[in-house]
Every structure is written in structure tokens, then in C-alpha cells.
Amino acid sequence: MPRQVTAFSNATVKLLRSLRDKKARRAERLFLAEGLRILTEARDSGRLPEIVAFSAEGARHPLAAEIIDATEAAGGDAIEATPDILAKMSGKDNPQMLLGAFRQPDTSLAQIERSKAPLWIVAQALRDPGNIGTILRTGDAVGAGGLILVDDCADPFSVEAVRASMGALFTQEIAAARWAEFVAWLRSGEGQLVGTSLKATEDYLDADYRRPCFVLIGNEQQGLPADYEAECDSLVKIPMAGRADSLNAAIAAAVMAFAIRASWR
């Protein structure tokens, strides 16, 4: 049976609230996902929260009730909370009726099976958690296997990234590594590394993309470092028709990923 929680000082409430903070996420190895849609996506991908919190109203939805039951059946914790406690936990005035704390998956490169998908997205030093979530969502849509975060990126388990991913956080593999570690792993098996660069001469529509293809997207401000570009097997450019010299990082990832998929039709 779910516990009813009415105090902000309750330990579970405090734990869930703390997960808005990166340090706490790291220490607890948990992250927060909000809303029926994302929690349903998680459940359908075989993932249940360790803790689920909901309002009385939220629990009335049959899908929410299923998730709450399944969480308890799996040994998880279910708490019914008042709307203001939910608002505190989600940091929003209009809180979702349902939120869950999920165990963070292993993000080592070792658990990535590159042959599982023809396409993988690799992002370097991405600072915006919204971009990371959007890239995960795009990756799911385009049939990528997952996202490999190279160097210091924003936290893919932040509330903003989880929200922007619209549940793709549960369907895409996620790994994090330093550049040298990534290159060593990449070169230990098959895979074409494709970077985008303003200095490239080959149009992204003319390149020959080979499976598994790893598309490398650079930092929002600086793009890719020169030695990272040099490591690429293929360096392509997306021609810019206007005055701007770059695309938003998540847009560049999408344009590349969809063009690569189109080239394989």
C-alpha cells in the first residue's frame, strides 16, 4: 500500500527534492522523471522507478495506477503526496501528478554494443541539458542506438534533459567518456567516425556513410577541437545558406542523423 505523505520534512520527499541537484543525483545514483507520458515510456521499456510519488488525482489514471502497483510489486516505494509537496519536488508551479526516481544506468562505454544499431550520436562538451534531451529524442526517432557523451557535458540525468528527451532516456543507450577513452574504444572495433566542420570540403549529402556510423557533434560555442576533427574518418559540412555560420547543436545532430539514414534507403 502506498504511504501518504503530508510533511515537507519527510525523508523520501527530501530525497526526491534533492535529485534536482547534480551532486545528490551522483551520490544516490538516482534521477527524477516526471509525468505520466515519460513514466509510461519507462515502464514500456522495462524500467520501473525505485520510488514513485503521485497525487490522489494522479493515481486515478489507470496507467498511473498500473505503474504505482508495478513499482510496489517490484519492491519499490510508492508515496501519495499533496499537490504542494509534488510542486516542491518537481520545482514547477503546475507539477505533474506523477513522478518517479529511477536508478541511473551504467554509462561505461563497455556496455555499448555497437552492432545493435547502424547509427550512434557522439556529443562533445555539450553544455545545454535541453540539447542532450532533444538529441536523445531525435536518436530514438531516427533509429540510433544511443548517445555517447564525450568530455565534460551537461548531466543527461538532469530534470531538463529527462524532460526534453520525452522518454527517450529510457530507450537510448547512454555512455560518458573522455575523448582518449572514446577513441580507444571506437578503434577497438568497427565504426566510421563522422564529424561536421565548416572547414570540410565534402557536402554532407555526398559522403559515403558506413554502418555503424558515429556522428560527432561539437560543443555549442566552439564546435569540435582541431585534433578531434583530425581523428574523424570523414569530415563533412552542412552548407550554410544565410549569414549564420552554425546550427544549434541538437539541430545539427538531427540534420546529420536524418541525412545519414536517408542515404541508406
- Residues binding its own copies (CB under 8 A): 41, 44-45, 130, 134, 137-143, 164, 166-168, 171-172, 205, 238, 240-244, 246-248, 250-251, 254-255, 258-259, 261-262, 265
Smallest gap, in angstroms, from Cβ of residue 240 to its own copies?
5
| CB closer to its own copies, 13 vs 136 | 136
| CB closer to its own copies, 98 vs 142 | 142
Smallest gap, in angstroms, from Cβ of residue 127 to its own copies?
13
What sign for the dihedral angle of Cα 179, 164, 154, 21? negative
- Say how far apart CA 3 and CA 151 lie, in whole Å: 41
| CB closer to its own copies, 3 vs 127 | 127
Smallest gap, in angstroms, from Cβ of residue 196 to its own copies?
12
Contact yes or no for 76/101 (Cβ under 8 A): no
| CB closer to its own copies, 84 vs 203 | 203
The C-alpha cell at 79 is 508515496
Smallest gap, in angstroms, from Cβ of residue 35 to its own copies?
12
- Provide the phi-psi class of 85: left if phi over 0, else alpha when psi is between -120 and 50, else beta: alpha
Residue 140 Cα to chain centre, angstroms: 10
Contact yes or no for 124/150 (Cβ under 8 A): yes
In DSSP terms, 3 is beta-bridged to 79
Contact yes or no for 132/253 (Cβ under 8 A): no
Smallest gap, in angstroms, from Cβ of residue 46 to its own copies?
12
Which residues fall within 8 angstroms of residue 63, CB to CB, at 6 or more apart? 36, 40
| CB closer to its own copies, 105 vs 130 | 130
| CB closer to its own copies, 72 vs 220 | 220
- Say how far apart CA 124 and CA 201 lie, in whole Å: 22
Smallest gap, in angstroms, from Cβ of residue 40 to its own copies?
10
